[in-house]
Amino acid sequence: MLGEYLRKHREEASLSLKDISQQTRIRVDYLRALEDEDFDKIPGKVFVKGYIKEYLRILSISPDEALRLYEEDIRSKEPEEEHVPVVEKKRRLPYQILYPVIVLIIAIPLIIFYTKKDNSTDQIIQSAKKEAVSVKKEEDSGLLLSPLSTAEADYTNKHILKISTMEETWVFINIDNDLKYSMILKPGEIRSWTGKEKFYLRIGNAGGIKISFDGKDLGSPGRKGEVVSLTLPEEIGKFKDHLPE
């Protein structure tokens, strides 16, 4: 369905997959996967939609119909959800309530015992407290976590790039024409990099991230599903259309 739709319009425009790849910078094997409806070869649903939009942008065709065909294809391949019975978790009493109860359970037998022995009230209270503290230590021993150590970095005379992710997004980064990173960031991730001169970025879902550069929040570099390339700090002005007034 979707593959036939895309192939038909591409052939009517007398374009090859290589022609579209050169204009969109999307790999030929990803474009071929779209036409073959082999979506598992493309890293994530958000990238499939972004590539469909870029593919049809070159042909000057609205992507609405293609995206509808894609959603229908995805739904037809999804397995039916099995009904899983929900097991109700046993409610646990808050520790603030449980701890006084433990103290009373321990203290009452001790009070009775020491009363029979004609011991003083102070002895009774002290013994109850010792037993209660012992129980509390045993309870707390399974709850304590080792503190996490923090790492320090030297940011002297360097640019700082920070990316915060709202939606799953593929990102390629080239730092100072030297270090290269290609990754898929999950929602909620925050990543930072430093560089002396510049950053080249290729983003598969421009509306799914927010960028901060040298401590300045720039916002998203484009719309959801849009594939964007930019170089910072040279093209920092590209954000002006996406920053709030």
73 and 99 fall within a common domain: no
Indicate if 65 and 113 belong to the same structural domain.
Answer: no
**Pair 100, 59 in one domain:** no
By residue range, what is the domain housing residue 194? 159-241
Residue 196 lies in a domain: yes
Predicted TM-score (pTM) of this structure: 0.38
- Evaluate whether residue 104 is within a structural domain: yes
Residue 65 has pLDDT above 70, yes or no: yes
**C-alpha distance from residue 4 to each of 49, 57, 72, 105, 218 (Å):** 16, 17, 14, 75, 40
164 and 129 fall within a common domain: no
Q: Within a domain: residue 213? A: yes
Mean pLDDT of 54-70: 89
Confidence class for position 40, pLDDT limits 50, 70, 90:
confident
> What mean pLDDT do residues 88-101 have?
58
Domains: count for the chain: 3
Q: Is residue 148 part of a domain?
A: no
| Judgement on whether residues 69 and 114 belong to the same structural domain of the protein | no
Q: Look at residue 186 in the predicted model and tell me its pLDDT.
A: 93
Nearest to 56 by CA among 97, 9, 96, 14: 9
Whether residue 202 has pLDDT greater than 60? yes
Residue type (1 letter), 87? V
Reported as a pLDDT band with limits 50, 70 and 90, residue 76 is: confident
Tell whether 147 is covered by a domain. no
Looking at the fold, whether 178 and 210 belong to one and the same domain comes out as: yes
Instruction: Report residue 87 as tokens.
Output: 């097991």
| Same domain, yes or no: 237 and 165 | yes
In a domain, 143, yes or no: no
Evaluate if residue 150 carries a pLDDT over 50: no
Is 130 a residue whose pLDDT tops 60? Answer: no
Statement to judge: residues 170 and 225 lie in one domain: yes
- Clarify whether residues 99 and 73 are in a common domain: no
Same domain, 190 and 130: no
- Cα separation, 99 vs 102, in Å, equals 5
Note whether 99 and 69 are same-domain residues.
no
Based on the fold, state whether residues 172 and 213 are members of the same structural domain: yes
Task: Tell me if 142 is assigned to some domain.
Answer: no
CB-side exposure of 210: number of CA atoms within 13 Å?
14
The whole-angstrom separation of Cα 24 and Cα 30 is 11
Of residues 85 and 59, more confidently modeled = 59
